[in-house]
Structure 1
Amino acid sequence: MHPTTPDGRYFVVKGRLRRCSKPLISYENRQRLVHDLMEARRAVKEAKALDDKDKLHAARAAVDEAKFALGERGPVWWDDGSPDYNRHKAINTPYADWYHLIDEQQ
């Protein structure tokens, strides 16, 4: 389990913020989208193993589509005007103090 920012917008992997999925997606829809994402990731792995550029392009597009639908990419899902810090180092964002606290606890 990766630590999640207090506002629930990001989780941290290797010191970088990653945007969480939209919280208002229904459980059933989220399950379907996560299934689609995992299928697409497996397709990426298969296309790489086959060295098939066309399949790889299609698989990566499917990953992107699922991530957009989940809210992990594209426009932010919050509406308070806060900027997006997706993929930023946590220490270089307004979450730096929070990150230092959780980093010390680990």
Structure 2
Amino acid sequence: MSEEDQDGERWLVIDGRRWRRTDPSLPGEIVDALTSHLGRARSAVASARRAGDDQAVADARRRVGLAKHGLGERGPYWWDEAEADRLARAEAALRELEN
């Protein structure tokens, strides 16, 4: 695979800013669950900010981070890790978010 093809698989460019893509090796049901948690956590950040609740903002941001780590969008580059390690990280993030 060419370097340009790899970059297209790894990064998404929006308005000139590069964002890491979700790990393509993750099962769809895990991606769907983590994406759902991510959306709810982002909404919770906005609600907590409007309410001026700093602790709730921090808690919601932690949940955003967990979901993004699970999806491979933050933390170690998913393409540098073994697939089993990536799946284990996603499953661990999902377990923590569901508690």
State the SS of the aligned residue for 2:49: helix
Identical-pair percentage: 38
Indicate the structure (1 or 2) with the bigger Cα radius of gyration.
1
Gaps of 5+ in 2: 82-99
Aligned to 1:6: 5
Deviations 1:48-71 (A, max 9, x none): 110100000000000000000000
Q: How far does residue 13 in structure 1 lie from its aligned partner after superposition?
A: 1.3
How does the TM-score come out when normalised to structure 1?
0.68
CA offsets 1:6-65 (integer angstroms, 9 cap, x no match): 320000011011000111110001000000000100000100110100000000000000
**Separation of aligned partners in 1, 2:14 and 2:51:** 29
**Equivalence for 2:58:** 57
Query: Which whole-Å CA distance do the structure 2 matches of 1:56 and 1:25 have between them?
Result: 28
The CA deviation at 1:79 is 2.6
Structure 1: 5+ residue runs without aligned partners?
81-106
Q: Map residues 1-106 of structure 1 onto 2, 5 A cutoff.
A: 6-7=5-6, 8-79=9-80
Aligned residues: 76
* Structure showing the higher helix proportion among its residues: 2
